[in-house]
Amino acid sequence: MSISCSAPSSQQNEKLSILLERLRQMLGDNAVLTGSDASRREVDWLSKSHCRAAAILRPATPQQVQQIMQLCHEARQPVVTHGGLTGLVHGAEAGPDELVVSLERMNAIEHIDPVAGTIHVQAGVPLQQVQEAAAAVDMQFPVDLGARGSCTIGGNIATNAGGNRVIRFGMMRQQVLGLEAVLANGDIVSSMSPMLKNNAGYDLKQLFIGSEGTLGIVTRAVLRLQPAMPDVRTALLACPNFEALTALLPHLRQSLGGSLSAFEVMWQSHFALIAEHSGRHNPPLATDAPYYALVESLAIDAEGHQQGFDHALEQAFEQALIEDAVIAQSSNQRDALWAIRDDIEGLVESLAPLLAFDVSLPIEHMQDYVTRVEHELHTHYPQARLVVFGHLGDGNLHLSVGMGNDGDDTEGARHQIEQCLYQPLAELNGSISAEHGIGLEKRDWLHLSRSPAEMALMTTLKQALDPHGLLNRDKVLVWTPPV
């Protein structure tokens, strides 16, 4: 999906040239990228589409973001915010009449307080750097996802990122104590309070978490840290049926006493494809079981933790919840197990042309949902292949559709496939987006997951905070500002 906009007129080009000259004078030449310096950048990890914006602006401070937005507001110039560019819903796409504000130079870790358990960071800091800074003071930042080396804290906040440890620590929203954002008119809203308890009026930071840059540009944040949990226990478990799989989750939650941090599930379609048929891994278990659960537990007491973890798995065997298992005995073995779960490149290679989906729904309905989707998909596209995995512990499934011989018109088929995957979610009180956001790709389906009253309130917020429609135009909501 692309942005529906035409090339700028000669008058618009002249206004844009004047604005860019003012921005160069303010930011410096190396902070304003145009031509091939801008167009060679990829803006969507999966589609590999390139930047079409008139220019990329690279501010170094929140004050420079403020100055950019003041000038753009005066000129009624739309902008798109860029973080680590690891998104999957075309949320970073920009048209030739738009400017990109990239926060890549705003990458400072400003302060860390292990006593209070907080860290102050700028929005362009990669997630992995925050994790490493926390580890250096014997703490942890619990949000974790495969793109940790590239994705940025600002992007994580803007999309309310989830990842592998949501079952224990929650989404990005639960980790943000305070933040600072620049509004469409250049005003800075600074709610950088480090306090866990803060009931002084409206919790304004929540307006920007998950809003995908449509209400303001996040520039800084105060994040919660957790105590380091140095003892990690990881196992890959084969389950005989869906009933056993769903019984295994509460069993481990109860048996491990709250230390369970990940419960990732791969349908056989995913595990067999990646672990065996792709040729990229050595299968740690036979690939003929219907479900595989990758479970992980974090604790401090190594000896007691190991005994409890082993005992929980022994009980699962006795109760016929699992039929085979492999337990990681080293960090290398742990990494090898996670590599199967996280091998998105292997999916892309094996299923190209690939369509990827990210949904959530009640666990009890998951198997029926997958069966229904697969049936409807094959009704329309007999050669298509459905591969399923996800963070089942928090209700999140990732579905990959390989088009096979039906892939000659992938974009033409997209709407029909989206209908197959999204329409059933409305009946199940599910969501068309569990953690990747809406962007452009899911915008036209948002009504399936939000009521008319919710949609109206979102539009009211957009109108109030960005009355000229300058921030991430056309993303999330379809709204045309008044002339």
CATH number of the domain at 419, please: 3.30.70.2740
Q: Is residue 480, in this structure, part of any structural domain at all?
A: no
Give the CATH number for residue 169: 3.30.465.10
Between CA 128 and CA 466 the distance in angstroms is 32
Residue 68 lies inside a defined structural domain of this protein = yes
**pLDDT for res 72:** 97
Q: Which residues of 39-60 are buried (b: 16+ CB within 10 A; e: fewer)?
A: eebebbbbeeeebbbbbbbbbb
Q: Binning pLDDT at 50, 70 and 90, where does residue 10 land?
A: confident
Q: What is the pLDDT of residues 65-101, one digit of tens each?
A: 999 999 999 999 999 999 999 998 999 999 999 999 9
From 285, 314, 344, the end of a domain falls on 344
Q: Which CATH number fits the domain that encloses residue 240?
A: 3.30.70.2190
Same domain, 101 and 114: no
Q: Report residue 478's pLDDT band, with 50, 70 and 90 as the boundaries.
A: confident
Q: Are residues 215 and 120 part of one domain?
A: yes
Residue 4 has pLDDT above 70, yes or no: no
**Residue 85 is assigned to a structural domain of this protein:** yes
Last residue of a domain, one of 105, 126, 160: 105
CB–CB of 207/236 below 8 Å? no
Count of domains for the chain: 4
Residues 209 and 99 grouped into a single domain: no
Do 320 and 377 sit in the same domain of this protein? no
Indicate the range of 4-18, 159-173, 224-238, 366-380 predicted with least confidence: 4-18
- Give the predicted TM-score (pTM) of the model: 0.93
Q: What is the pLDDT of residue 448?
A: 96
My answer on whether 209 and 135 are in the same domain is yes
What pLDDT does 479 receive? 74
pLDDT of 483: 63
In the predicted model, what is the mean pLDDT of the chain?
93
pLDDT in the model for residue 407: 56
CATH number of the domain that 94 lies in?
A: 3.30.43.10
- Asked, for residue 482, whether it belongs to a domain, the answer is no
Please report whether residue 408 resides in a domain: yes
Q: Which of 66-70, 255-259, 328-332, 368-372 has the lowest mean pLDDT?
A: 255-259
Q: Is residue 246 part of a domain?
A: yes
Per residue in 94-124, pLDDT (tens digit) is 999 999 999 999 999 999 999 999 999 999 9
Residues 332 and 435 reside in one and the same domain: no
339 shares a domain with 262: yes
Weakest-pLDDT range from 27-31, 354-358, 477-481: 477-481
In-domain check, residue 478 = no
Residues 335 and 363 occupy one common structural domain: no
**pLDDT tens, residue by residue, 34-53:** 999 998 888 877 777 889 99
State which residues form the domain around 189. Answer: 109-227
Confidence of residue 2 (pLDDT cuts 50, 70, 90): very low
Quote the pLDDT of residue 403.
86
Whether residue 470 lies inside any domain: the answer is: no
